[in-house]
Chains A and B, each alone.
Chain A
């Protein structure tokens, strides 16, 4: 059962426009969400995160929005740049009462920003 879903395997946008990457989750125990960016043959790089007590978090060109009632989050990149072309993973974690802080990842969305 896939608890974190990224339904769009790929997205193509023009340089300078907005990129919107979507993520849905099913586990209502998730209370912290993260986005990672990954280039081929490299490890994922942490981008931005959001706690379930917020509905928006912004860091430069990156903004993450969380809609808890819809169990949906999105990553907005404005303006998009060719260097943003990568696979973006959505991840979530919840209060399991333990200390392992395991992340559940989506399958990723390949973003291509065209010059």
Chain B
């Protein structure tokens, strides 16, 4: 089965600073890739998904962007972080249709 690598595990950033979270996938090729955010006490909100290199779909308007420069690499970015960007960010991959496998997550605190 595929493995999702995500880093860093925790990140503390000042308001207005840039952000780059990276996610890589092992064990499969041409996966669908996803970025989610889990706010405190809430479910998983899909932010972006990608069905191939350079193909990004955004689910919600926000301060973040995503890119997929390689087949198994997915990056979540921001030019200037806001306080409201704080949360737990999860990367997921799917190659077997509906089942998505998740990384360990990144806890982002914007201060």
Contact = CB atoms under 8 A, between A and B. Distances in A.
A107 B42 CA distance: 5
Chain B's interface size range is 20 to 34
A36 B99 CA distance: 10
A103 B46 contact: yes
B19 interface: no
A34 B99 contact: yes
A99 B100 CA distance: 13
Interface of A: 32, 34, 36, 41-46, 49, 89, 93, 99-103, 105-108
A89 B100 CA distance: 13
Interface in B76-100: 88, 90, 92, 94, 97-100
Interface of B: 4, 6, 32, 34, 42-44, 46, 49, 51, 57, 59, 88, 90, 92, 94, 97-105, 107
A42 B105 contact: yes
A contact face: mostly helix, strand, loop, or mixed: loop
B8 to A, nearest CB: 13
B44 to A, nearest CB: 4
B102 to A, nearest CB: 3
